[in-house]
Structure 1
Amino acid sequence: MVHVPLTDGSRSGLSMPLGTKDLESKERELNELGYRMSWRQAKTFNERPIFMQKSLDAYRDKTWSAMLASGQNHSCLASHFEVRTGKRMWIERNGSDIPSS
């Protein structure tokens, strides 16, 4: 239960859904990557969280593309490097690389 303040000043208890272990581990890995990026380049990312998020996504996309280009299967790779999982699953389900209009 999480206690949430209401507009009238009272507090209410709401149940919070539990995350899956896969999502928690993926989030932990992404936090670790972000921490390492900010540690190495503190001046670049200081007070700029959106820039850091975009930089982290660009790094993940570049790393994921390089791993796929080297001939590795996506199911064998670390999932926290994949940026757009939904797009890949949609393409696999429809069987084409280009979405039809």
Structure 2
Amino acid sequence: MLKKLVTGQLSLPMTFWGYFFCGGLFIGLIGLAGIHTGHTAIVPLSYILKTVLFGAVLSGITFILRRKITVLGALAFFVVLTQLIMSIVMILGLSSLLFT
């Protein structure tokens, strides 16, 4: 399934809403649970997982847009790209939690 996601063989709605939105929400909830249970090392790890997922989604959307460029596809691309950059920044900011 991951190969289909990365190579753009899934539909744009499945890639964006299924993997990016729901997958990112689920991983974010795992990080939030880590905060509430006192396991702070889970937070940067959840951002690392989000970054990997968002990179796979961005790759999939890129392959989808190579076949046919649409307004919604371009919008999804920029939203995922923005979130990917923000996840990388958060990993750098929270990396001190992994090494304390």
| TM-score normalised by length of structure 2 | 0.34
Q: Which has the higher helix share?
A: 2
Q: Which has the higher strand share?
A: 1
Relative contact order, CA 8 A, sep 6+: which one is greater?
A: 2
